[in-house]
Amino acid sequence: MEQEKKKRILSGIQPTGTFTLGNYIGAVRNWGKLQDDYECLYMVADLHAITVRQNPADLRRMTREAVALLLACGIDPEKSLLFVQSHVPAHSQLSWVLSCSTQFGELSRMTQFKDKSAKHADNVNAGLFTYPVLMAADILVYNADLVPVGADQKQHLELARNVAQRFNSQYSPTFTVPDPYIAKAGAKIMSLAEPEKKMSKSDENANAFILLLDEPDAILRKFKRAVTDSDGEVRYAPEEKPGVSNLMTIYSCMTGKDFAAIEAEFAGKGYGDFKTAVAESVIAELAPVQAEYKRILADKAYLEGVLKEGAAHANAIADRVLSKVYRKAGFMQL
C-alpha cells in the first residue's frame, strides 16, 4: 500500500540563552514527539537574534548550546532536520523577494514590533521591522504545511500566510500556505513571581523563571518562592488562583497526572509539600536532559557532523524553492 506523504512541520527558536521550562513544556519537548508522525525541520534562528544587539562571541556560543540543548531535549537528527538558520542563505534571499510582497502597513501592525521597539528605543532597526518577513521566508522556503507557534508568534504566522497567498496570486501557485499547528495539550507556563505573565527568561526577576540548565537546588529554591495565594488549597482555578494553577500545570506536564488527581494528592496538605513535589518532578525530568546536554556539548565532532548534514539537506530543499521563485520573479538566469 502506498504510504501517505507525511506533512512537513517547521519551527524555530532563537539562540538567546538557555531555554526556560516554559519553552520546554510549551514547545521544545513537543517537537521531539512530532518526529514520527511528521517530517520535521527545526531551526536555530540566529539571523533573527541580531535584531537586538548581541555580543558576537556570545551569539556563537549560544547557537552551539541551543543546538546541543535541542538534541538533549529529544530531537533526533536521524528523524528530523536540525540546522542553523544562517547556514542556509536561501532564507535571506527569499526574505528580500517576499519583502517586496509585504506592505509597510501590515508590518507596522505587528504587536511584537511595537513592543520590541518600545523596549529597545535606541535601536529600532529595519531588521526589527522586517523580522516577520524573514520568518515567513523560513517557513515558505521549505513549503512547510504546519508551524507550531506560541500565542506570541501567531500574528507573524498569519502574515506569512498572507504573503504566501499574495505571491501565489501575483505570480502563480508557488508556496504552500502554512497552517498553525495547535498542540493537543498546549500548556502555557506562567511566571513563578507574577503568574499573570508568561514565563520569560528576559524577566528581571530570576526567581520568575526556571532555566533548563538550572541546578536542582536553584529549582527547589525558585519553586519554594513561587507566588501562590493565602487560602492554602491546591485547586485548579486559573482566574482565581493563577499561581497555584500554574504550578499544577507544571506538575501535570511533568507527571502526566490530571488536575483532579493532583487535587486529591494534596488535599489537606500545605503549599510547602506541594511546591516541593512540583520542584522534585521538574528536577527529575530535567536531570537526564542536563546530562545529555553536557555530553553532547563536549562532543564537538558530533555536533559539527549534525550541523553539516542538517545544512546540506536544508540547503538542497531551500535552493530548489528559491530558484523557482527567482524564475517566477523574472530574474535572468545564466
Asked if 153 is part of the footprint of ligand TRP (rule: CB under 6 A), the reply reads yes
Name the residue nearer to ligand TRP (CB basis): 147 or 211. Answer: 147
Q: Closer to ligand TRP at the Cβ: 190 or 283?
A: 190
Task: List CB contacts of 333: < 8 A, sequence separation 6 or more.
Answer: 326, 327
Give the position of cell 527545526.
42
Beta bridge partners of 146: 9, 179
Nearer to ligand TRP, 131 or 274 (CB): 131
Eight-state DSSP code of residue 16: S
Residues 117 to 136 in contact with ligand TRP, rule: CB under 6 A: 135
**DSSP-derived secondary structure for 75-139:** --TTTSEEEEGGG-THHHHHHHHHHTTS-HHHHHT-HHHHHHHHHTTT---HHHHHHHHHHHHHH
The answer to whether 232 and 270 have CB atoms below 8 angstroms apart is yes
Which is the catalytic residue, given 198, 222, 241, 275?
198
Q: Binder to ligand TRP among 45, 163, 227, 296 (CB under 6 A)?
A: 45
* Cα 167 from Cα 165, distance rounded (Å): 6
Q: Which is nearer to ligand TRP, 82 or 262 (CB)?
A: 82
Q: How far is the CB of 305 from ligand TRP (least distance, A)?
A: 24
Q: Using CA atoms, how far apart are residues 291 and 109, in angstroms rounded to an integer?
A: 43
For residue 86, state whether it binds ligand TRP (rule: CB under 6 A): no
Nearer to ligand TRP, 220 or 307 (CB): 307
Joined together, the cell numbers standing for residue 297 give 556539548
Other C-beta atoms within 10 Å of 269: how many? 13
- Told to check if 69 binds ligand TRP by CB under 6 A, we report no
Out of 75, 88, 146, 147, point to the residue binding ligand TRP (CB under 6 A): 147
Q: Which residues contact 132 (CB under 8 A, 6 or more apart)?
A: 102, 107, 110, 112, 113, 155, 156, 159, 160
For ligand TRP, the binding residues in 231-250 under the rule CB under 6 A are: none
Nearest CB to ligand TRP, comparing residues 28 and 135: 135
Euclidean distance between CA atoms 114 and 107, whole angstroms: 10
Answer yes or no whether residue 139 interacts with ligand TRP by CB under 6 A: yes
Closest CA to 17 of 65, 85, 70, 57: 65
| Residue 12 binds ligand TRP (CB under 6 A) | yes
User: Annotated catalytic, 308?
Assistant: no
Count of residues binding ligand TRP (CB under 6 A)? 13
> Considering the rule CB under 6 A, would residue 10 count as an interface residue with ligand TRP?
yes
Position 149 contacts ligand TRP (CB under 6 A): yes
119 is catalytic: no
To ligand TRP, the closest distance from the beta carbon of 156 in angstroms equals 6
Strands 8-13 and 179-181: unpaired
Report yes or no: 306 and 71 within 8 Å, Cβ to Cβ.
yes
Binding ligand TRP by CB under 6 A: which of 39, 46, 65, 138?
138
Q: If binding is defined by CB under 6 A, does position 48 make contact with ligand TRP?
A: yes
Catalytically annotated residue among 7, 79, 201, 328: 201
Candidates 11-19, 75-83, 117-125, 288-296 — which segment interacts with ligand TRP by CB under 6 A? 11-19
Q: Closest residue (Cβ) to ligand TRP?
A: 12
- Residue 176 and residue 143 in contact, taking contact as beta carbons nearer than 8 Å: yes
275 catalytic residue (yes or no) = no
Catalytic residue set: 116, 198, 201
| Residues of the shown chain interacting with ligand TRP in the complex, contacts defined by CB under 6 A | 10-14, 45, 48, 135, 138-139, 147, 149, 153
